[in-house]
Amino acid sequence: MPRPVTLVLGAAAFTGIANAQQYKLVDNFTEENFFDNFDFINQTDPTHGLVNYVAAQTANNQRLAGYYSGGVYLGADHTNQVSSDGRPSVRVESKKTYNHGLFIGDFAHMPEGCGTWPAFWTYGINPTWPDGGEIDIIEGVNAQETNAMTLHTGAGCSVTMGDVHSGTNLTTDNCNDNEGKNGCGEHSTDTTGYGSGFNAKSGGVYAMEWTSESITVWYFPRDSIPDGVLDTDTPDTSNFGTPAAQFIGGDGCIIDDHFMNHVIVINLTLCGDWAGKVWDEDSTCTAKASTCNEYVENNPDAFTDAYWLVNSVRTFEQTSSSKRDIPKPFTA
């Protein structure tokens, strides 16, 4: 039998591994390959936005999408008045699907302003929404100044909140998106993390880690990105510091039963079920027009800043050595 000291060391190492998830790079989507790896979704917006999601060639011809300034530009039309057909915009989805992993998005700019509803998110394509789950990493509407991170699932997923930045709290522990429910959200109070505050700092980095135990989001403003986030192929999330949001599955939510086969999505819709519905509650926006649709139809100039500029989206998987195994039995 090993001496007791071996057992103590083994136990300590096991705890360490549980927190320190080592990753290795899988995909590096940048100005060199982004559009080879994402599809344009040319469909009606299911959230009823005043938007016309155009196909790839149209988007590029109309300068709504392309490689630009060292990154990937994705935006809405900002030159034409539009009718109720909607303002041209884009929604792109990764060709690959993912189960678990670390996803790091580095954005120089995100869409901002009244009428906008941008999102950087993932969702399960099989089974169909919401049963494959949805993870909203960056999302908000109108002149909102802070980011909302949200999970949407089928019935039977109740989470708890981890140790996150002070000010963040959980809207509800029930992530079910059926029966008129809206998922479970953690809303940041950091005004550098969304919209104009984010853009004023030349953006920043959002990282999302998805394991069997939890779903965690970190935000790093451009001027405080720690070493080991962008400058490595093998990030270790135990060095990422306090997250902006963390949803822990525990007994209430078997994460692997509710989140699977996710694609990565970046979209920009306008008005619709969120931005349009809360227009009246946003004094900055109501001062500009009486309804969201009226504003979006008649004010192309207002959408000059309604674009994403993506430096990179990178994906990582856990290295097998860091996957949590059952501790090895002692050999006799």
Ligand X SMILES: *[C@@H]1O[C@H](CO)[C@@H](O)[C@H](O)[C@H]1NC(C)=O
Instruction: Spell out the alpha helix ranges (H) of the chain.
Output: 4-19, 34-37, 56-61, 195-200, 255-258, 272-275, 283-286, 292-298
Nearest position to ligand X, beta carbon: 58
The alpha carbon dihedral of 14, 15, 18, 24 has a sign of: negative
Least distance (Å) between residue 205 CB and ligand X: 13
Contact status, residue 94 vs residue 264, Cβ threshold 8 Å: yes
23/121 with CB nearer ligand X: 121
186/213 with CB nearer ligand X: 186
Least distance (Å) between residue 49 CB and ligand X: 6
Contact status, residue 173 vs residue 159, Cβ threshold 8 Å: yes
Least distance (Å) between residue 250 CB and ligand X: 19
Active-site residue (options: 31, 32, 112, 139):
139
50/285 with CB nearer ligand X: 50
Indicate if 186 belongs to the active site: no
Contact status, residue 263 vs residue 125, Cβ threshold 8 Å: yes
Residue indicated by tokens 């980011």:
147
Indicate if 139 belongs to the active site: yes
Least distance (Å) between residue 1 CB and ligand X: 45
Contact status, residue 306 vs residue 75, Cβ threshold 8 Å: yes
Q: Which amino acid is at 242?
A: T
Using CB under 6 A, list all residues that contact ligand X: 25, 28, 30-32, 42-47, 52-55, 58, 91, 119, 121, 136, 139, 167, 169, 189, 233, 267, 269
26/143 with CB nearer ligand X: 26
Active-site residue (options: 93, 112, 134, 186):
134
Q: How many whole angstroms separate alpha carbon 258 and alpha carbon 127?
A: 10
54/245 with CB nearer ligand X: 54
Half-sphere exposure of 210 (CA within 13 A, CB side): 30
CA angle 267, 268, 273 (to 5 degrees): 105
Least distance (Å) between residue 331 CB and ligand X: 40
Least distance (Å) between residue 201 CB and ligand X: 22
| Cα radius of gyration (the chain) | 21
Show Cβ contacts of residue 188 under 8 Å, excluding neighbours closer than 6 positions: 146, 147, 148, 149, 165, 167, 168, 194, 219, 244, 245
Quote the DSSP letter at residue 54.
Answer: -
Residues with catalytic roles: 134, 139
